[in-house]
């Protein structure tokens, strides 16, 4: 069942979204060759708690960390560890909060130092596909319109869309209906209504879309060990244009 949100609830979801957005920017300031992913995880946990929220992922379904940290060929749900980042890595940081009874969720893939031209293209195409998907997130459209926009942009650029993981609704639960796949057909799927709040999150592989689940039961990586990128924003459905609740501006302004 899809639970529509009131304006007041959307405001609380936006507060969560902004805490997550600022947490990602805080983590981003420390991303450089030599830092461990566990250190980044701890920076995020401290920042979230200092801002009056709780880490949403920590303990969720048994997940043991504040962040999902996914390096290079890891798509999503990677564990923080003693791995030290090296020049040329990419690192997807997926972060969630719990604040005033509601959840926040957003993700960004960072470059570690200089990365190859092909990897730069992977990040650019994935982020652009997210924005193209968001453009379709208006009243009267369907989930398939979002999915189609993402898939078309990714595949025309020679990359592939992960199909095993999807975006989702968000509210008093971290994962609510409807599911938001990153592939599909226009005009199909659930109709978008005012008051729906969804997380759109393309996960895009440089090589094939085939994936491998690791023995920890969480970590998902590319089968061909090529790199994967992941960007996620939270969006409230409105009539004229989408209301994007989370933002990358704190990350990207600090990088300029």
Averaged confidence pLDDT in the chain: 97
pLDDT digits (tens, 9 = 90+) for 16-48: 999 999 999 999 999 999 999 999 999 999 999
Burial of 32 (0-12, 13-18, 19+ CB in 10 A): exposed
Question: Cα dist. 202→36, 45, 92, 149, 230 in Å?
Answer: 25, 25, 12, 11, 6
Q: Which domains does the chain have, with CATH numbers?
A: 7-255 (3.90.230.10)
Query: Residue 198: pLDDT above 80?
Result: yes
pLDDT digits (tens, 9 = 90+) for 130-147: 999 999 999 999 999 999
* Dist. CA 230–CA 207, nearest whole Å: 14
Instruction: Give the pLDDT mean for 93-109.
Output: 98
pLDDT of residue 240: 87
Instruction: Give the pLDDT mean for 237-249.
Output: 96
Backbone Cα Rg of the chain: 17
Query: Residue 256: pLDDT above 60?
Result: no
């Amino acid at each position: 069942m899809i639970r529509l949100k009131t304006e007041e609830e959307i405001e609380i979801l936006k507060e969560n979204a902004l805490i997550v957005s600022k947490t990602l920017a805080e983590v981003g300031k420390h991303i450089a060759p030599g830092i461990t992913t566990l250190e980044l995880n701890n920076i995020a946990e401290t920042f979230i708690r200092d801002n009056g929220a709780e880490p949403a992922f920590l303990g969720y379904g048994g997940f043991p960390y504040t962040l999902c940290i996914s390096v290079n060929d890891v798509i999503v749900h990677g564990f923080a560890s003693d791995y030290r980042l090296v020049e040329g890595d990419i690192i997807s940081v997926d972060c969630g909060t719990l604040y005033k009874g509601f959840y926040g969720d957003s993700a960004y893939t960072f470059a570690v130092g200089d990365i190859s031209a092909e990897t730069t293209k992977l990040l650019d195409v994935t982020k652009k596909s997210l924005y193209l998907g968001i453009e379709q997130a208006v009243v009267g459209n369907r989930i398939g319109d979002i999915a189609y926009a993402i898939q078309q942009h990714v595949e025309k650029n020679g990359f592939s869309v992960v199909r095993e993981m999807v975006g989702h609704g968000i509210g008093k639960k971290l994962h609510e209906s409807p599911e938001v796949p990153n592939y599909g057909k226009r005009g199909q799927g659930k109709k978008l209504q005012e008051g729906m709040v969804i997380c759109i999150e393309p996960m895009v592989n440089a090589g094939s879309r085939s994936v491998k689940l690791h023995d920890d039961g969480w970590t998902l990586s590319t089968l061909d060990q090529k790199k994967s990128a992941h960007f996620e924003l939270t969006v409230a459905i409105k009539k004229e244009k989408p209301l994007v609740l989370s933002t990358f501006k704190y990350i990207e302004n600090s990088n300029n």
